[in-house]
Amino acid sequence: MIGKKMATALNEQMNHEFYNSRLYLAMAAFFHDLNMEGGAHWMELQAQEETGHAMRLYSYLKERGGRIMLEAIQAPPMEWDSPLAAFEAAYQHECSVTKEFDQLVELACAEKDNATLNFLQWFVTEQVEEESTVDAVVQKIKMAHDAPGAIFMIDRMLAQRGQA
């Protein structure tokens, strides 16, 4: 059975992950409005991935006998100044999610909850990939310097993203 303090923290993170999914869906809608279907596709897949993260936490809580607490999900922002601004916001968001998982790892250590510590290692590894992947897109858009042809090519590249 999972401890109450750890269960509460994992529930908070699960709800954050559901928010993350909505944030990426909002970004997808932003890209649809710009007729950047590749960017929209990339963000839609990211939203699905974030829902998967939330469900991983949900399943773990259920498996460990923790009470699952679903909360209201705050509405995400809907507008960004540019495609670059949207991806920079996504990168900053992933960095903050990494910190959230670092805090969960610290709590699992403090609670001497080795099962949860082991469970969280998947997320620690995942966050390295998340930050790297989004940063790679940010760097490509920065190289484009708002050149329409280059942005078009990046959008085509984003459309190539496969299922996570």
Residue among 103, 98, 95, 92 nearest 124 (CA): 98
- pLDDT tens for the chain, residues 1 to 164: 999 999 999 999 999 999 999 999 999 999 999 999 999 999 999 999 999 999 999 999 999 999 999 999 999 999 999 999 999 999 999 999 999 999 999 999 999 999 999 999 999 999 999 999 999 999 999 999 879 999 999 999 999 998 65
Residue 137 CB contacts under 8 Å (≥ 6 apart), including other chains: 42, 87, 154, 158
Is the pTM higher than 0.85? The answer reads yes
What distances in angstroms separate CA 121 from CA 71, 98, 100, one per listed residue?
Answer: 25, 12, 13
Residue 18, token pair as written in the block: 């559901």
Phi first, then psi: give them for residue 160, nearest 5 degrees. Answer: -80, -10
Residue 98 CB contacts under 8 Å (≥ 6 apart), including other chains: 127, 128, 130, 131
- Domains of the chain from N-terminus onward: 4-159 (1.20.1260.10)
- Cα–Cα dist 98/21, whole Å: 15
Q: Which DSSP letter does residue 67 get?
A: P
- Measured in whole angstroms, the distance separating CA 64 from the mean position of its chain's CA atoms is 24
